[in-house]
Amino acid sequence: MRYAMAIDTRKCVGCSDCVVACQTENNVPIGYCRDWVVEVTDGTYPQLEIEIRSERCNHCENSPCVRCCPTGASHYEAGGLVLVTPHKCIGCGACVVSCPYDARYSHPDGYVDKCTFCMHRIQKGQQPACVEVCPTKCMYFGDLDDPNSDVSRVLKKRKFKTLIPEAGTKPHVYYLI
């Protein structure tokens, strides 16, 4: 099993519902967030192109954050999820520095926190909160090894990219373009 997410940059309107849903679902402390929305404007006026992306931890297959963690607090969980065990984390910050996407932050309680793909929900067969709540239905979640999952099907149909593939992290969040 390899969990992955595909996000349609052509449908996303940047409403930030996913950000708020995550903060509520995961009790993210006020002033912090695990996912965020980026708007990229490219070109020179009047030939401008805009891409809007909802970003989060990419649950990389070759994740520098797991590699650099001195205690094993950052680890791979079944399904390729990259997670942090708070009671093993010493808060050294190495993983925060190691993530090319700046997807991690230091929780006010001391340990490092980030997106979990809502593991507690997917274990119950539900979708991650951000996927569930998106009003444009621009996110697809599922198992890459299952050809019939939402994410496998949409990746077969559409063109996609990952963020900074040249960093060699093998991200599991795909952006449909």
Where along the sequence are the contacts to ligand SF4 (CB under 6 A)? 57-60, 63-65, 68-71, 73-74, 82, 84, 89-95, 99, 101, 103-104, 112, 114, 169
Which residue from 1, 10, 24, 72 is in contact with other proteins, where contact means CB under 8 A?
72
Q: Which does 166 bind (CB under 5 to 8 A by kind): other proteins, ligand SF4, none?
A: other proteins
Dihedral (CA of 108, 113, 116, 120) sign: negative
Q: How far is the CB of 1 from other proteins (least distance, A)?
A: 24
**Residue among 54, 66, 64 at smallest CA distance from 6:** 54
CA 39 to chain centroid: 16
Tokens found for residue 144:
């890459």
Choice between 11 and 100, CB closer to ligand SF4 = 100
| Nearest-angstrom CA–CA distance, 52 and 50 | 7
Q: Assess contact for 132 and 126: CB atoms under 8 A.
A: yes
Do 129 and 140 contact (CB within 8 A), yes or no?
no
Q: Does 92 bind other proteins (CB under 8 A)?
A: yes
**Binding residues for other proteins restricted to 106-125, rule: CB under 8 A:** 106, 109-111
Query: Which amino acid type is present at position 129?
Result: A
| Sites of contact with other proteins (CB under 8 A) | 14, 16, 19, 31-33, 36-44, 52, 64, 67-73, 86-94, 96-100, 102, 104-106, 109-111, 163-164, 166-168
